[in-house]
Every structure is written in structure tokens, then in C-alpha cells.
Amino acid sequence: MIYLFHGSDVGKTRAKAFAWVSAARAKAPEAPYIRLDTESLTHESLGSALGSQGLFFSRSLISLDDPFSLSETSQVVFEALQALADSEHVVAIIAPKITAPHLKKIEPKAAKVFEQMLAEKKAARGFNSGLVNALAARDRTVLWKEIIKAIRAGDAPEMVHGLLHWKARDLMQKGSCVWKPDEARALSRRLIELVSEARSGSLPLNLALERFALSV
């Protein structure tokens, strides 16, 4: 079964998806979690995920992260769309800014669709380039200040986190003279871990983001 997360608000879309996945994993901790992004999503890896079954579990939680950002991975998903819809496995598709033609194909197959659109007042503020540029430049002081400024301006910590994680993924895909490929991957993983840590109660997400900024 497919659960689709999309919308023009990239930060909120990703935050909603990560929160949902985290809650699903907490509800069924014995179920395997398989995350496939544009680097790892192939016909073979998706087929393997859909075919996974164990002695103590009957279904897995599969996350497809931004598969429609590349034509190759889009084709993989659409060729397996009916199998994804019919599968007993829970398939979360995270697709911010999915195009209308793609949405038209996948929406009827989804068990549930979560849409996060930019509100007018948020749109007026514009894209937070200062935040993502500070992360790209690996400037911890500026990044820390940008996180505090964004939260004080009314942005939810989950939205700030989602934008930072989007930029980490962007650094992985496009490359950077500041972040080495393995460092960009580690950055992405660390940001994912922040949400789980915050939900465990060890540290509120806004404070976890500030601490993260000072560690980049």
C-alpha cells in the first residue's frame, strides 16, 4: 500500500513524512525499514524490498525518497506502481513538488495522500537561502544564527530540519568543494537521526538543531 507525501512546501512535506515514518517504526519496531533514495533505487533493489519477508514479520516499511527527481528512478516507480499499490508492505513515497502529470498517475493508487502546500504568508517570506547557504558553506556560526532566526520568525523546527535535510541531499547529488561525498552522506544520516532523537525525548528538535549547527 502506498502513502504519498507531496506539496510545494518542501520543508513541511519532508518533516511530515519523517514524522510519519518515525511513528510507524515505533508502532511496529520488529518490521524491517528499507529506505531507497535516488542513488539506491533500481528495479533490483525495489523488487528485493517488495519481496522481503521474514520468520517474525510479514511486511516491511519501505521509504522511497524523492524518486521523481530523476527520470530513471521515476521509471522504476511507475513500472512497479501497481505492485506497490497491491503490496502488503507499507510504502511511503516522499515526493515534494511532484509534477501534476506524475501526481495524476500515482494519486489514484495511493491508500492515503498527505499534501503540504505553502501558505501565502510563508510564500511571501521566500526561500530561506541564508539557511541552506550556511550549511553548504559549512559555516557553523552563521548556520546557528540562521536556525535561531528562522525559528523566531515562526518556522517550525520540523520545517527548518526538512530544509536542511533537503540541502544535504542536494549536496550529495550535485557535489560540493566544501563537503566530500562521504561527508555529505554522513550529514544526511545525522539529520535523519535528529528527528528520532528528538522524538525519544532526549532533546527538543529546536535545541538539537542548534547543537547540530555547531558541530558541522
Predicted pLDDT of residue 42? 97
Distances in whole angstroms, Cα of residue 39 to Cα of each of 60, 120, 140, 180: 20, 34, 28, 16
4/6 Cα distance (integer angstroms): 6
152/93 Cα distance (integer angstroms): 31
Residues 6+ apart with CB under 8 A from 85: 1, 2, 109, 110, 111
Tell me the angle at which helices 43-50 and 71-79 cross, rounded to the nearest 10 degrees: 40
Nearest to 86 by CA among 54, 50, 32: 50
Predicted pLDDT of residue 30? 87
Query: The C-alpha cell of 91 is what?
Result: 510504502
DSSP helix, strand, coil percent of the chain (3-state; round to 5): 60, 15, 30
Predicted pLDDT of residue 29? 87
Nearest to 163 by CA among 134, 185, 203: 134
109/98 Cα distance (integer angstroms): 15
Query: Cell numbers 517504526 label which residue?
Result: 25
Kind and range of the H or E element at 25? Answer: helix 10-27
State which residues of the chain have pLDDT below 50. 55, 122-124
CB 159 within 8 A of CB 11: yes
Burial profile 80-91: b = 16 or more Cβ within 10 angstroms, e = fewer: bbeebeebebbb
Predicted pLDDT of residue 122? 47
